[in-house]
Amino acid sequence: MTPKPSVKRGPTPKSSSTSTPAPAIAPAPKSNAAFRAASRSSSSSSLSFPSQSAKKPTDSEVAGAASLFDLLGDQFRLAICVKLCEGPLRVTDIVSWMEMSSAAVAYHLRLLSLSQLLKAEKRGSERWYGIADPRVRQVLAALRVRGS
C-alpha cells in the first residue's frame, strides 16, 4: 500500500464571541434626477421608464399577466402560438408540424383555448385554431420570436 500524501492545513481561525457589526448600507436616494436625465438624452436606448406619476397596476392586471406568462412558459405552447401567429391551422397540421402525439397537442390546445388565448372554429369535420388574444402577438413581438 502506498501512503496517502499529507495535506498541510493552516491554523483554524478562532471564533470570537464579539463580532464586528456589518457596515450599514446607505439608502437609495429618493430622487435620481441624473439617471432620468441621462436616460432621456440617450436616444439609442429602447427602454422607457415609468414616470413617478404612473399608476400602480391592479392585482387583477398582475394576475392576468402572470397567467399569460405561465401559459407561454411551456416550450410546446409557446411554439404552437408562434406557429399560429402566421395564420390559423388545423389540428392535424399542428400535430404533424410539432411531431407530437395528437393527444399531447390536444392537451396544449385545450389549455390555451380555455384561457382564451386561442380561438377554435369548426369547419366541417375539422377544427381550426388561431390567436384570439392580441397580447400573445405583442409578447412574441416584444421577444422578437419569429412568426409574430
pTM for this predicted structure: 0.59
CA of 128: how far to CAs of 118, 120, 125, in Å? 10, 6, 10
Distance (Å, rounded) from C-alpha 105 to C-alpha 107?
5
pLDDT along the chain (148 residues), means of 10: 51 48 43 45 50 79 88 92 94 92 95 94 93 92 76
Q: Domains along the chain?
A: 62-142 (1.10.10.10)
Q: What is the pLDDT of residue 143?
A: 86
